[in-house]
Amino acid sequence: MRLVHAVGQGEPLDMLRVAFVACWLMAASLTSSGQTVVEEPIEYIYYDFIGEDGQLHGGRVVPDPSNPHHVAFPPDGPMPEGTWNFETIQDAGPSSNRIDLVLVGDGYTDIELGTYANNAQDVFDAFFGPGGEQPLKAYKNFFNVHRVDVISPESGVDEPDLGIFVDTALDMYYNCSGIERLLCIDVGKALTAANSAPAREQVLALANSTRYGGAGYSGSDLGTLAGRNSAALEVALHEFGHSFGNLADEYTYGGPVNWPSGEPASANLTTFTAAQLAVNQAKWYRWLDVSGVDTFEGGGYSEFGIYRPTNNSLMRNLGRPFHQVNEEQLIMRVYESVDPIDDATPPLPPTGDYDQDTVFFVATVDPSPNTLSIQWSVDGVAVVGETQPTFSLALLDLPIGLHDVRVDVVDTTSRVRDEGFRQSQMTEYREWTAVFGCARPIITQQPVASSFCEDGPMSVSVTAIGEGLLYQWRRFGIDIPGATGATYAVALAAAADAGDYSVVVSNACGPRDSDTATTTMVPAVTIQTSPGDQALCAGASVFLFVGASGGQGLTYQWYRDAVEIAGATLAFLAIANADSADAGDYTAAVTNACGTVIAGPATLMVVTNGCVTVPGDMDGDADADLNDYAAFHACMTGPGGVSGSPCFLADFDGDDDIDAADFGVFQIVFGD
């Protein structure tokens, strides 16, 4: 979803503020009390201003999805990488565990980059500096902030109502959608520029202008503001509550007098009274015992039928704090992106367990002031006083053997009262196994996957170091009775001995599991069909077959009179146009990893005088009989093409294919 939240024209104009409100799209649902939760079915451009009465007013318009100043293009594709220089204002830690806020500028020329840097620093200070707004200032360490130095050809931004048009890099302009102070930007260009930074999650675009204005694009996590208008900084905080915290406006202007819908999904608006919140344990019921927190009527642009949690927060008026309920929501959004633990001692060292002299550590992401609680425990019991980032077993009086070490980190801030969220998102742990007083075995050579021959020896081995080693071999995870040595061996292995083998090596300090090694069994070669003796007339053709079993990878080599026939390495040997030189005793050597078996010999006689070749005689016995029919049928139902195979004897029409035409000829021969 992409939406634009913009500012509109008001009186006085210099009090106009930017609005960054989020638009939530969700189906209607029921609360525990049966209240229907209703959300807006479409996205809007929101705009807000200070009216003559000094209160916030606002309205909304429907965005134009074809306008690149309203939505990113392409709408669902990734933005290209940017090419601008960047400066990291704050490097709080790895982007994988931080929220990266990227500032980009528009309308700043090369010589104005110093001004832009100052304007960007003002934004940073408003959010995270010594005078920054809570709770953002407290959670400053959870954000990385980058400034991308976008250079425009000309200074300033477009102000169409004043006849000012400027050539800028990101095409920012006022009067967007006909609203004077709505400061729009080409979304695709802005996000591409932001991609010049190492990472981005939230983007703020600063216009080189003193004129009040801005916009908020929550669907693209993008906002705009006038970089040289100091009042815009206060507004940016309010709008960050919208775009980042998913908080609703709490003022009562711009909508119908009476709230028209059901229960809103935003955390800071409700249709319940305080008593109903307490009964239903809904929304901010946990805060109702705090002074200043109640259900104050008015909010979400309506005066009646809707309630806000405090009388006058920053979501209602400028210059106010967020207050308790809204602060809690912002912190919860922070912890949806950032974990309390940045780094810790790795789960296991490469060579074994941690010993009693190991100093374990945990590196945390700390709020300021730090509200993180660290607690180390051993074997499920918290160690009194061990609440620092490092911990060692050495000073503890522990029995010899294995022990579980664990550290729990939790943000105990009083700004959050939702204990379920604290447990699921604001709490994290790490744990390890350590030995005290002795060491478990260390496996230095794991069992290796191997193949073995049936009816031959099989063995798997492990090498380990340590005191008092004991072994227990397993097959498919089940103990093998009596297999208690460093090597498991079988003298005459059978097919049933194949499987996944592992071993548990143990001593007084505990067990160590090996890797799993898969063994396979290779059967011996068995000749199932040997080539037979044959006699044929000179000029006839014949082929010899051998059928064998022995697993995968069988190889063949044919011999005549014990002399190897070059290239004869298939399960058959075809001889075309035989002559007296082809006569002899033929054998085939069939080999696998476990040995070689000889098939044959088969004696081939070639008659050169007074011999008549019989058509269709595929086995060379001077007769076209049922054996030849079977051979022909095998060729006809096999793969197409007969070149280089015995089936060439069945190719009567010479078209390199055994088909119906050849079968017709063979039937005539066979019938004779």
Find the CATH number of the domain harbouring 652. Answer: 1.10.1330
* Residue 360 within any structural domain of the chain: yes
Question: Is 249 within the bounds of a domain?
Answer: no
Question: Nearest CA to 584 among 563, 614, 612?
Answer: 563
**Contact between residue 209 and residue 7 where contact means Cβ atoms under 8 Å apart:** no
- Give the number of other Cβ atoms within 10 Å of residue 148's Cβ: 24
User: What CATH number did the domain enclosing 386 receive?
Assistant: 2.60.40.10
pLDDT digits (tens, 9 = 90+) for 327-357: 999 999 999 999 999 999 998 776 667 887 7
Integer Cα distance of 364 and 343 in angstroms: 7
Q: What angle do CA 271, 274, 276 make, to 5 degrees?
A: 70
Question: Do 573 and 626 belong together in one domain?
Answer: no
Rounded distance between C-alpha atoms, residue 331 and residue 421, angstroms: 11
In a domain, 260, yes or no: no
Report the candidate in 54, 24, 57, 58 with the shortest Cα–Cα distance to residue 42.
24
Residues 164/165/170/176 CA torsion (nearest 10 deg): 60
pLDDT tens digits, one per residue of 210-251: 998 877 776 678 888 899 987 778 878 887 888 788 888 898
At residue 15, the 3 state secondary structure works out as helix
Domain match, 232 and 308 both: no
Strand partners, 102: 146, 203
Which amino acid, one-letter code, is at 446? Q
Task: For residue 220, tell me if it sits in a domain.
Answer: yes
Strand bridging mode 99-106 / 143-148:
parallel
Do residue 138 and residue 284 come from a single domain? no
Domain match, 624 and 654 both? yes
Q: Which residues of the chain have pLDDT under 70?
A: 1-63, 65, 70-79, 218-219, 350-352, 609-624, 637-656, 661-662, 665-672
- Smallest Cα–Cα separation from 51: which of 244, 238, 251, 198? 251
Q: Is there a domain that residue 234 lies in?
A: yes
- Alpha helices by DSSP H, listed for 142-220, are 187-194
Whether 241 and 23 have beta carbons less than 8 Å apart is answered as no
Q: Are residues 389 and 471 in the same domain?
A: no
Tracing tokens 């801030």 back to the chain, one arrives at 413
In contact, 90 and 285? CB cutoff 8 Å: no
Give the separation between CA 556 and CA 90, rounded to whole angstroms.
72
Q: Cβ(217)–Cβ(3) under 8 Å?
A: yes
How high is the pLDDT of residue 376? 97
Single-letter amino acid code for the residue at 643: S
Count up the domains in the chain and report the number. Answer: 6
Same domain, 25 and 144: yes
Of the candidates 62, 17, 44, 15, which has an alpha carbon nearest to the alpha carbon of residue 214? 17
State yes or no: cis peptide before 531, omega within 30 of 0. no
Determine the structural domain holding residue 182 and report its residue range.
5-243
* Three-state SS at 374: strand
Give CA 134 to chain center in angstroms. 34
pLDDT at 52: 59
Pair 207, 347 in one domain: no
HSE-CB of 418 using CA atoms within 13 angstroms: 21
Pair (419, 460) in one structural domain? no
Q: Does 251 map to a domain?
A: no
What is the secondary structure of 233-255 as a DSSP string? HHHHHHHHHHHTT-PPP----SS
> Are residues 231 and 303 located together in one domain of the fold?
no
Instruction: For residue 233, give the nearest of 127, 99, 129 by alpha carbon.
Output: 127
Indicate whether 181 and 131 sit together in one domain. Answer: yes
Q: Residue 402: what pLDDT?
A: 83
**Per residue in 656-672, pLDDT tens?**
677 776 677 666 666 55
Judgement on whether residues 214 and 307 belong to the same structural domain of the protein:
no
Biggest CA–CA distance in the chain, Å, is: 128
The rounded distance, in Å, linking the Cα atoms of 620 and 577 is 12
pLDDT at position 14: 33
User: CA of 409: how far to CAs of 236, 372, 418, 655, in Å?
Assistant: 32, 7, 17, 80
Q: Tell whether 183 is covered by a domain.
A: yes
> How far is Cα 600 from Cα 527, in angstroms, rounded to an integer?
10
C-alpha to C-alpha distance for 57 and 316, rounded to whole angstroms: 10
Same domain (yes/no): 355, 483: no
Residue 268 lies in a domain: no
Stretch (H or E) spanning 458: strand 458-461
Please tell me the predicted confidence (pLDDT) of residue 505: 94
Query: How many beta carbons lie within 10 A of that of residue 356, not counting itself?
Result: 18
Q: How far is CA 651 from the centre of its chain?
A: 58
Give Cα separations from 660 to 623, 637, 639 (angstroms).
22, 11, 14
CA 355 to chain centroid = 34
Single-letter code of the amino acid located at 544: L
- How many H-runs (helices) and E-runs (strands) does the chain carry? 8, 39
The two structure tokens encoding residue 369: 């002031």
